[in-house]
């Protein structure tokens, strides 16, 4: 499940990933979250502890979204340090836009990096 997070900056869409997520779930959540905006947007996906670990499905969904939504110009994925290696092997590097991995302790940095997309940094 992907749920919108309220503590994200206004310039970024932040979603928390929990349970089992398939690529189509990512696409639907982004459609609902972005609406008809035409402004450059950063996207942050925060992986919760109960995420089932289908990082490859998440990566595939984000790659599809990066091609379909030209307004998304940066994507940050925030996960626990012990899951970072698993996330690195998932295929996030095949996206049309930059996807950076951040540790949970750097969540604020992930928000700042994603929000910089709208500011043109």
In this prediction, residue 118 carries a pLDDT of 64
Residue 60 has pLDDT above 80, yes or no: yes
64: left (phi over 0), alpha (psi -120 to 50) or beta: alpha
Contacts of 14 (CB under 8 A, 6+ apart): 4, 5, 7, 8, 43, 44, 45, 46, 111, 114
pLDDT tens, 19-38? 999 999 999 998 888 765 55
State pLDDT tens for residues 79-120: 999 999 999 999 998 888 999 999 999 999 999 998 886 655
Mean of pLDDT values over 60-88: 92
Q: Domains of the chain (ranges plus CATH)?
A: 2-119 (3.40.50)
pLDDT at 59 over 90: yes
Q: What are phi and psi of 107, to 5 degrees?
A: -60, -40
User: Considering only CA atoms, which of 25, 110, 35 is closest in space to residue 74?
Assistant: 110
Residue 82 CB contacts under 8 Å (≥ 6 apart), including other chains: none
Local confidence band at 78 (pLDDT 50, 70, 90 cut-offs):
very high
pTM, two decimal places: 0.90
């Amino acid at each position: 499940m992907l749920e919108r997070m309220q503590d994200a900056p206004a310039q970024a869409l932040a979603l928390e990933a929990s349970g089992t997520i398939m690529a189509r779930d990512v696409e639907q959540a982004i459609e609902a979250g972005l609406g008809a905006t035409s402004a450059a947007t950063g996207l942050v996906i925060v992986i919760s502890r109960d995420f089932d670990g289908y990082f490859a499905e998440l990566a595939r969904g984000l790659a599809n979204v990066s091609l379909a939504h030209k307004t998304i110009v940066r994507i940050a994925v925030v996960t626990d340090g012990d899951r970072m290696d698993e996330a690195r092997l998932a295929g996030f590097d095949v996206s049309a836009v930059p996807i950076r991995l951040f540790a949970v302790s750097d969540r604020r940095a992930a928000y700042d990096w994603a929000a910089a997309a709208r500011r043109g940094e």
